[in-house]
Amino acid sequence: MEPWNKGRAVGPKRPLSPEQVRLIRATLEAGEEWRDLALFSMAIDTMLRAVDLLKLRVDDVVDDMGRVVDDLPVRQQKTATAHLVALTDKSRAALEKWLTVSRKQPGEFLFTGLGRVANRPLTRRHYSELVKCWAKIARVKDVSRFATHSLRRTKAAYIYEMTRNPEVVRQLLGHKSLSATSAYLDIDKAKAIAVARKFEI
């Protein structure tokens, strides 16, 4: 009997580097792929799980005046808790462009298909395929190591690298426990490797 994971890359999905993020953003902008640019930017900045990102509607990201908000509350499906996420200027600009081009109205799903399926929410499978395409743009060697969760991990890993503060990352990811965040970022393993490098026999 063959193992379920034969031929598959298992384990935590790799995050993108800041350089890769910039390359993907620049490529999507140059190609005027406004939906994908908005989706990619939102995924990186909010660090939301795919299920929570894809259920967002126009009303969630704009105020009563139709302006894109600075932050928004999201009820996480996995934890059933409210979680506040912030939007950077780049994400807000990408959203404004997408909303203008798509002419989306309040109540409509924010991220949908294009053309004839423009009224249908983007599926998890389609989102996953887009991530593989973005990984190719970033010139990664093994795209199987990248998935939708890679985008959730990207900014979290970068913030931890810059701050070494797992509590900050826990808050941003909406984790209930610090141990979950430590496991998520492989913090203990990273510390062990750093210690090992200091000793030479």
9 lies in a domain? no
Q: What is the pLDDT of residues 36-72, one digit of tens each?
A: 999 999 999 999 999 999 999 999 999 999 999 999 9
172 lies in a domain? no
Cα–Cα distance measured from residue 52 to residue 114, given in angstroms and rounded to the nearest whole number: 20
44 lies in a domain? yes
Q: What is the pLDDT of residues 99-144, one digit of tens each?
A: 999 999 999 999 998 877 778 899 999 999 999 999 999 998 899 8
175 lies in a domain? no
Model pLDDT, residue 117: 75
Q: Please give the radius of gyration of the chain, using alpha carbons only, rounded to the nearest integer.
A: 18
Burial class (CB in 10 A: 0-12, 13-18, 19+), 185: buried
Q: What is the pLDDT of residues 143-191, one digit of tens each?
A: 988 999 999 999 998 998 888 888 888 988 888 888 888 877 776 666 6
178 lies in a domain? no
Beta-carbon count within 10 A of 131 CB: 24
61 lies in a domain? yes
Model pLDDT, residue 3: 45
pTM for the whole structure: 0.84
Q: What's the CA dihedral at 153, 156, 81, 129 to 10 degrees?
A: -20
CATH number at residue 140: 1.10.443.10
Nearest to 23 by CA among 150, 180, 137: 137
* Count: domains in the chain: 1
192 lies in a domain? no
169 lies in a domain? no
DSSP 115: G
Following DSSP, what letter does each residue of 89-105 receive, concatenated? HHHHHHHHHHHHHHT--
Q: Where in the sequence is the domain holding 25, given as residue range(s)?
A: 18-152
- Token pair in block for residue 63: 């105020």
Model pLDDT, residue 5: 40
Overall size of the chain counted in residues: 201
- Decide if pLDDT at 194 tops 70: no
Q: What is the pLDDT of residues 73-102, one digit of tens each?
A: 999 998 888 889 999 999 999 999 999 999
